[in-house]
Amino acid sequence: FGGYDGTDFLQDLWKFTSGTWTRPTSLVTPGRRAGHVAAWDEVAAQLWIHGGYDGVDLYQDTWRFDSQAAGVHAWSRISSVSGVTGEPSARAKHVGAWDPAGAFWIHGGYNGSGVCNDLWKLQLGTSLWHRVASLGPGRAYHAAAFDGTSSWWIHGGMDESFRAQGDLWRFDTASHTWFQLPQSPAFPAERYNHVASWDGGLWIHGGQQ
């Protein structure tokens, strides 16, 4: 969903399956944006997105696309509730993940004045945002992948001084604890704006230095 084509910010949604691209339609859609995050809820077959940037403003909104619905009801904006710790500020270039336990997580990003180090959890059912007290690395333009159990892996990105990093972190969603992993003898160079995925191990690709 969305992105930037070099001229315009986009708001189209596409799906690739069985060798073919299809474009689902909906009368209600999120605004044009790039730099947002997305996560897939495999059980409910729903796509979640948060934040982003439209060339003028940073977004703070959360949307859900229900692939089992049709037409006007496919996209819905989540009326999230500010918890006792508030809710995430508008931001872009953060990371997001879906927890099979029923929660949408976001971390870091750029909020217009600096790089964030906060970690937030949106609990399904209550639509309540909760800021996790455990402080992690301040990062934007980083890459992350959820391993499907209780670990969220985060690599690289830009720190609060806008320097590219090459470190690897793991966040345990059960204990709410961050762990920084030691560097192995061979490891990827510092980078940002890359991508990551999980397949029994962490894969990363590309980026800028």
Amino acid 9: pLDDT: 98
- In this prediction, residues 133-160 reach a mean pLDDT of 93
Burial 79-110 (b: 16+ CB within 10 A, else e): ebeebeeebbebbbbbbbbbbeeebbbbbbbb
What's the mean per-residue pLDDT of the chain? Answer: 92
Amino acid 66: pLDDT: 93
Q: Which residues contact 168 (CB under 8 A, 6 or more apart)?
A: 153, 154, 155, 180, 181, 183, 187, 202
The pLDDT-based confidence of 199 (bands split at 50, 70, 90) is: very high
Which tens digit of pLDDT belongs to each residue from 106-140?
A: 999 999 999 999 999 998 888 889 999 878 899 99
- In this prediction, residues 33-62 reach a mean pLDDT of 96
- In this prediction, residues 49-59 reach a mean pLDDT of 97
Amino acid 82: pLDDT: 64
- Asked whether residue 148 carries a pLDDT value surpassing 90, the answer given is no
- In this prediction, residues 96-107 reach a mean pLDDT of 93
Q: Give Cα separations from 52 to 25, 31, 72, 196 (angstroms).
A: 21, 10, 23, 19
Amino acid 198: pLDDT: 95
- Asked whether residue 185 carries a pLDDT value surpassing 90, the answer given is no
- Asked whether residue 178 carries a pLDDT value surpassing 80, the answer given is yes
Which tens digit of pLDDT belongs to each residue from 63-91?
A: 999 998 866 669 999 887 666 668 899 99
Amino acid 133: pLDDT: 83
